[in-house]
Structure 1
Amino acid sequence: MNDCLRGRRRRSLLSLLASLLLFPTVAQPAAAQAPAAPPPPVTVAKPIVREIVEDDEFIGRFEAVDEVSIRARVGGYLETVHFRDGALVKVGDPLFTIDQRPFQFALEQAQSQLAVSETSLTFAESQYRRAEELSQSGNIPVSTVDDRRREFLAAQASHEGAKTAVASAQLDLEYTEITAPIAGRIDRRLVSTGNLVQADQTILTSIVSLDPIDFYFDIDEREFLAYARDATERGGNLQEGAGGLPVVVHLPDGGTDAISGELNFAENRIDRETGTMRVRARFPNPDLTVLPGLFGRVNVPGSLPHQGVLVPDEAIGADQDRRIVYVVGEDNTVSAKPVRTGPRLYGYRVVRSGLTGEETIVVNGLMRVRPNIKVDPRPETLPPERVAEGAQ
């Protein structure tokens, strides 16, 4: 019976080994018969090649062309405020009046002193003329004539001082009427009626001009050198505005149309601490909506006109710290080409290096693509400009 059991076990083991040996032979043809995956479909196109001027973008802030802090030139109690807070004012518009009574009294006193000095001068002059006549006949000594002449000259000087005192008192009285030195929008009143105003110290309010308005931004050393060379080629100078180089500024809301202006100034040195230079552009502001202190993004032409290569943003991928574009070869094999990108123009991204414009690139379906695979290209033609996507 034991021999029978051993025989059965041996036959079972032999059957199992035969099955294991036959399984790869049977399974391999089945796997070989599985169909290969088709090439993924992607949209391809030629890049746009056209004449462009590359823009560099900077963040900056608007500042008033003219700004004045209004102070009184004479001290006294504030009597009247003539403007409405936040109103537009013109040059010469009355703003404040300081109590004029002390200055009016001072003027009248100075005028009285002037009248006294005029009388003294007239008397001294007559005494001097009479002494000269008597001296010629020998009736009085020459020393007396000298005394009369000295008194006459002193009366003249006193009279000039009295006239100066009247002019000074008149000027102080005029200074009690404070008017707008520039045109623009006035701030709120900082001092209420009845308060004491200190001459040349108390700030009463401020005025900023609004049209035109300046925009300040900083550029680094490399950008300065590039702009300076371009300005020289244009026949201008960066410090004087690069010959009125046109620039465009965009406001933070994104919904306002871009404002066009011109560069008109750059500082005469690079800041040693920051390595930057401050540049100024001037913009018209006829509707007075742009205010000093507002941030904006300014686009400055960063090159002379040249033939540029433009691709859609969605055609640009990332490979760690570099940008790549997938190029489709003649055999439909994909390769990744590193590119250096620039600003957005006409709804596309500028490719500064890496493409010539003759390549066929993947513009849609990047998630299905990797290097060295074959694809099913679906060609399309890119429009010259994509305004709807925010061309700049």
Structure 2
Amino acid sequence: MPMRPLNIALVAAVATLLVAACERDPVEDTPPAPRPVRTTTVEKREQLTPFTFTGRIEAEDEVSIAFRIGGRLLSNNTRLGDRVQAGQLLAQLESQNEANALRQAQAALAAAQGQLTQARNHFERQQTLLAQGWTTRANFEAATQAQQTAQSQLDMAEAQLNAAHDQVGFTELRADAPGKVTETGPAAGEVVQAGQTIAKIARQDGRDAVFDVPAQLVRAAPANLQVTVALTDDPAVTAQGRVRQVAAQANPVTRTFEVKVGLTDPPAAMRLGATVVGRAEANSGPMIGIPATALTRMNQQPAVWVFDPSANTVSVRNVDVLRFDQAQVIVAQGLDAGEIVVTAGVQALHQGQKVRVLGSGR
């Protein structure tokens, strides 16, 4: 019986498929070669934690000068930035009252000296008369007491005269050491109180870089930490220093601690009040650090590819990153020492993929 056209077509199609199957390249059925990667073994090592602060330059020794007494300010010769020498007159108070008190003390001293001279002469007469039997013991003792009283009054008058001299001297304010004026106070004509700041002088014996540091960094930083300080407007101007003082109490507003770094041979460009940046590194103990190239992202979180040497496969794992820079990532959680992570080729991997290790790095 002759074949129908449909059967003829089916036979032709089957024959075509058989021929194609026979002609297929056997290479197409070969599984893909393992992808080459580079790896590193995770280790815990001592890590240095970098610190960066912004602060200011201050004098290592800055004093506030003030009058010991109150009064009306006659003159204030201090100007910001002026250099002063030891003993230089900086300000004066009106001294009429103190001058009058000095003259009164001088007069009281003269009177006391006269009374003492009179009492001494009377004592000497009574002493002579007593020896000759022409006076009584009671008169002699009275003369003795009068001389002692006159001597005491003279001593008191001398002390009052010295105090009056001091009061006159207190109307003049002089620098006790060479330095530079960093702050000025009231102007001439104002009434000032004892102890009120008239000016601040930075003595010429050192510079500090002062920073406001959070409490957690103060706890982490070791004592005598070395700091590199640079000007913010010219980072090429630098100086080295060490922490010499940490405030015992936090600032009540900012809750930070004032840290003073004593600078060694600071350049002249680091003027008082200049803004600086301090950089330091402190040992944070053993931590896991991996190359930055090992870090990828999975499930919207940082991740790494972990290599299984027994199966030559990789699997992705999310990690917690403590900090990172362009070269290294510090991992807080997610990896253990001894594990192997992929450092090159991470972008072309998938879960469970077989890989071929080209080399390992440290």
Which residue of the other structure, out of 247, 263, 280, is the alignment partner of 1:299?
Answer: 280
**Against the structure 1 CA distance between its residues 115 and 287, is the aligned structure 2 distance closer, same or farther, given a 3 Å change threshold?**
farther
Distance 2:54 2:165 in 1: 47
- In structure 2, the partner of 1:10 is none
Distance 1:357 1:300 in 2: 27
**Against the structure 1 CA distance between its residues 187 and 218, is the aligned structure 2 distance closer, same or farther, given a 3 Å change threshold?**
same
Distance 2:29 2:234 in 1: 52
1:168 shift after superposition: 1.1
Q: Is this contact kept in 2: 1:96–1:179, CA < 8 A?
A: yes
Segments of structure 2 that go 5 or more residues without pairing to the other structure are 1-9, 11-16, 22-27
- In structure 1, the partner of 2:110 is 115
Segments of structure 1 that go 5 or more residues without pairing to the other structure are 1-17, 19-24, 228-237, 383-392
1:169 shift after superposition: 1.7
Which residue of the other structure, out of 343, 348, 355, is the alignment partner of 1:362?
Answer: 343
Distance 1:94 1:49 in 2: 67
Give 1:336's aligned amino acid.
V
| TM-score, normalised relative to structure 2 | 0.66
| TM-score, normalised relative to structure 1 | 0.62
**Against the structure 1 CA distance between its residues 157 and 203, is the aligned structure 2 distance closer, same or farther, given a 3 Å change threshold?**
same
Which residue of the other structure, out of 326, 338, 347, is the alignment partner of 2:305?
Answer: 326
Percent identity between the two aligned chains: 22
Q: Please tell me whether residue 204 in structure 1 is matched to residue 185 in structure 2.
A: no
Q: Please tell me whether residue 260 in structure 1 is matched to residue 240 in structure 2.
A: yes
Distance 1:370 1:165 in 2: 97
**Against the structure 1 CA distance between its residues 87 and 267, is the aligned structure 2 distance closer, same or farther, given a 3 Å change threshold?**
closer
Which residue of the other structure, out of 78, 82, 90, is the alignment partner of 1:95?
Answer: 90
- In structure 2, the partner of 1:143 is 138
Report the count of equivalent residues: 334
SS in 1 for 2:109: helix
Higher deviation after alignment, 207-216 or 129-138: 207-216
Higher deviation after alignment, 183-192 or 373-382: 373-382
**Against the structure 1 CA distance between its residues 207 and 247, is the aligned structure 2 distance closer, same or farther, given a 3 Å change threshold?**
same
**Against the structure 1 CA distance between its residues 42 and 139, is the aligned structure 2 distance closer, same or farther, given a 3 Å change threshold?**
farther
Q: Is this contact kept in 1: 2:208–2:260, CA < 8 A?
A: no
Distance 2:74 2:85 in 1: 22
Give 1:324's aligned amino acid.
A
1:142 shift after superposition: 1.8
Distance 2:80 2:271 in 1: 18
Distance 1:321 1:251 in 2: 39
Higher deviation after alignment, 79-88 or 208-217: 208-217
